[in-house]
Chains A and B, each alone.
Chain A
Amino acid sequence: MVDVLNVASETTATPRSSTLKRALSQPATVFGVILVAAHLFLALFSPLIAPHDSSALVGAPLLRPSWEFLMGTDQIGRDYFSRIIEGGRIALLVSFCGVAIALAVGTILGVLAGYVGGRFDEIIMRFVDAMMSIPEIILIAILTLALGKDIWALIPVVAAVYCWGVVRVMRAKTISLSTLDFVRAAELRGETRLAIILREILPNLTGLLGVELAVRVSSAVLRISALSFLGLGISQPTPDWGLMVQEAMGVVFTDPWFLLLPAVMLSTLIIGVNFMVDGFARAFGIASTEL
């Protein structure tokens, strides 16, 4: 009987641990991971490394770089090096908290809309469409006016901006998962809708959630910098790259590094996140069209 022919020796696919290895075998991914790690390190520990208080006036304005002021001082005499390394801290923290809320709310709404479907889906999605049709900057302006110009008030603003995109992504992924037979099998077992969502669908969204988190946090940092530049985000004397770009506008032709350095900090963060996410998503088999 062929019954037991070679069952145990049939080829097996790659286990998980090697997926990580495969991701890190790409130089671009490693580069991304290093950039992100460096930014995270700065965000967490920069106040301990910073040689000076970043918001205090410690010297004469516009000093050239020296051993005391590694990058010189800014227009009003604050240590520029301390401000540069601390400039992403608040923005990253606010982005992370805001995006985390957006992901939680967006995933709940998206999965419910995608799995339950019907009228429920219709109502949620039309509301999402309505929210997404409001120009972002107007939405932000209204929310900032309503919530006040406090750093922590930026968290719900970020959440409100990013939530709707998450709903769409999670709904789409849920719909494609719902067509798979393991959901049919669960329905045939008589599992409740909640059990199906928690046991069958959510575990398959974790990869996508990781990707969404990284991409949207990096995008939110950029957005907050833009807000700070416009005067709606983080305000003086807290150091922030967007704010620093704005301060640099007056001296851009005489001292261009005031513009370049914060811009470089922002770009390295965003490039790093993108390279890292791209590499991991590919290694874990998440199609780039889902990003």
Chain B
Amino acid sequence: MPAHPHIEVRDLKLVYRTGPKTETTAIDAVSFSIAKGETLGIVGESGCGKSSLARAFLAYTRPGARIAGGSLSVAGLDVLKLKPDQLLAYRGRRAAMVPQNPLSSLTPHLTIGQHLVELIRLHKAAGGRTPKEKALELLAAMELPDPAAIYDRYPHQLSGGQRQRVVIAAALVAEPELIILDEPTTALDKTVESQVLDLVARLQKRTGTTLIYVSHDLNVIARMCERVFVMKDGKVLEDGPTSAVFTHPRTDYARSLIAAIPKLETAKPSNVTPFHGQGAALSIEKLEFSYARPPGWNPLRRLFPNAPQPPTLADISLAIPPGTTLGVVGESGSGKSTLAALVAGLAAGNGGEMRFDGQILSGLAPQRDRDLRRRVQMIFQDPASSLNPQHTVEQLIARPLQIFFGMSRAAARERTVELLTELGLGATFLDRSPRQLSGGQQQRVAIARAFAGKPDLVLCDEVTSALDVTVQASVLGVMKRLQREHGTTYLFISHDLPVVAEMSDQILVLEKGRVRDYGDTTAVLSDPSSDYTKNLLAAFATASQQLTNRTMKHAS
């Protein structure tokens, strides 16, 4: 590490106002220094203060937050004491930020070119060329195809990955010494994320910029950063070289965080023999689905022919043996949620056949008989949306008990307590409302509600993607236990390949509504047949490979 620190943080304290006289501490007297050109990763679960810390580098606080003490200097400049006009000169020119959601950080009615030219003019960064030339140069440096065409496009005409590249270009306009990336790839699909990360790594190597990378995804940090902070409750629990922290975490918290990362290697060896649909819990044969016509006549469709079309499914066939899990992987728009909706009866297919336990599944849920509805249950992605905020936990879980088993209030209450206990929650939760629960607790309530009907098949639609990693690990643990104890069959949908690999006996890879790969987990992971699956695997593998490489470097 070079002798003179580039960034020096001393006793930085940031508090949030929670009431007229009460405050909570978001960053608690943190001190550290960063050398020039270093890449620092900040990890931690939501609410640990990592985003607040990242913003502090730009002397920016969220509404209601206040820096309560300490200092932060970048190259000798005391950032927190800058006057408004000095701040304007500092932000963007000395330090820049790449925010999480590229769509909300671009103005919809301005073209990409207008965005960049404005910044180039503001920072007088054209360097002898016209602003347009400089902007095109930046777009080319972002490895965007056809910069001249992108220059004239509007943000909504770009893909998520392209938008994020544009936002990174905007951050690089004035060649700042410090770039803060706040979860820049969280909204992107895995293969796109991988490309964007490679780009950032190359740019960093070329320019020697100091990089601070905030993410909850430890794989991303392992891939991008030499040094890592593990944050919890506003404190830096661990600080050290990434490889050292990841291989020898000193605190229990860091250990649980690292242990909770699903890795592709942990895929369980499947002992299921090739299965051909005899006695399957769920079998689907050549399922087709498409929206017959766009809902309503829509003149805007003509103006925006590139607007995303609702996903369609074609020629889907699969069979899940009872008591096992079929993982469905695919990126957003691949049609995986549509598949779950068709099985659940939220939408009706246009062709093919679905059988559940030999019985033909057809029509929408209201037309199916009660016993069938009871036996096929669904757990949704976001418990904040799937649990009615006006109901108590008891009402939420007792309702299916009353509907499916005609239980009396008292009997339903007793059974609800049993279910809650089974999920590690207990009777004290009966009268709570969902908003009084954490995300992990909410999802457990949702799982309890799904299991209230004693289902044979549970459709799990991205059940852990709204949760932090350690919470995700515990929820997945609960689901595996329930499957073992009740012999339930899962259709497990996720965009996260390691999670699917951990959960599933079989994997089905969907792309644009078509099956790209289907087979036993080990077979698909070790010998994918389609290029699409290979790319997907590579995107995840590089992340964990990087972790292994760093670990080996550290060991030697």
Contacts and interface: CB of A to CB of B under 8 A. Distances in A.
Interface string A176-193: 000011101101111100
Nearest to B396: A182
Contact of A187 (B259, B366, B437): B366
A68 interface: no
B441 A7 contact: yes
Contacts of B380: 181, 184-185
Contacts of A14: 435-436
A187 B399 CA distance: 12
Contacts of B433: 15-16
Interface string B449-488: 1000000000000000000001101100110010000000
Given A3-B474, A25-B20, A13 B436 contact: yes
A4 B386 contact: no
Interface string B413-450: 00000000000111000001101111011001000010
A30 B380 CA distance: 41
A25 B17 CA distance: 13
Interface stretch (B78-86, B300-308, B387-395): B387-395
A123 to B, nearest CB: 15
B399 A189 contact: yes
A48 interface: no
Interface string A188-230: 1111000000011001101000000000000000000000000
Contact of A4 (B344, B366, B403, B474): B474
Nearest to A27: B20
Given A13-B437, A25-B20, A180 B385 contact: yes
A1 interface: yes
Interface string A1-26: 11111111011111110000010010
Given A2-B470, A11-B438, A203 B390 contact: yes
Contacts of A1: 477
Most chain B beta carbons < 10 A, residue from A3, A8, A206: A3
Contact of A15 (B260, B400, B436): B436
Indicate the size class of the contact surface on chain A. 20 to 34
Given A3-B481, A5-B474, A181-B382, A188 B365 contact: yes
Contacts of B400: 189
Contacts of A182: 385-388
A7 B440 contact: yes
A191 B378 contact: no
A190 B403 contact: yes
B76 interface: no
B341 to A, nearest CB: 9
B208 interface: no
Interface residues of B, number: 50
A188 B345 contact: yes
Contacts of B365: 187-188, 190
A200 B396 CA distance: 10
A11 B366 contact: no
Interface string B240-260: 000000000000000010011
B534 interface: no
Nearest to B346: A184
B19 A22 contact: yes
B47 interface: yes
B164 interface: no
Contacts of A199: 388, 399
A64 B20 CA distance: 46
B370 interface: yes
B390 A204 contact: yes
A11 B47 contact: yes
Given A10-B441, A13-B435, A187-B365, A5 B382 contact: no
Most B C-beta atoms less than 10 A away, residue of A7, A14, A180? A7
Nearest to B399: A189
B373 interface: yes
Given A185-B380, A190-B365, A3 B424 contact: yes
A13 B481 CA distance: 28
B533 interface: no
B7 to A, nearest CB: 31
B259 A188 contact: no
Interface in B472-518: 473-474, 477-478, 481
B238 to A, nearest CB: 19
A16 B432 CA distance: 10
A7 to B, nearest CB: 4
A185 B471 contact: no
B424 A4 contact: yes
B233 to A, nearest CB: 10
Interface of A: 1-8, 10-16, 22, 25, 180-182, 184-185, 187-191, 199-200, 203-204, 206
Interface of B: 19-20, 47, 256, 259-260, 344-346, 365-366, 368, 370, 373, 377-378, 380-382, 385-391, 399-400, 403-404, 424-426, 432-433, 435-438, 440-441, 444, 449, 470-471, 473-474, 477-478, 481
Given A7-B474, A184-B380, 20 more contacts: A1-B477, A2-B256, A2-B473, A3-B481, A5-B473, A10-B441, A12-B441, A14-B436, A15-B436, A16-B433, A182-B385, A182-B387, A182-B388, A185-B378, A185-B380, A187-B365, A188-B346, A189-B399, A189-B400, A191-B403
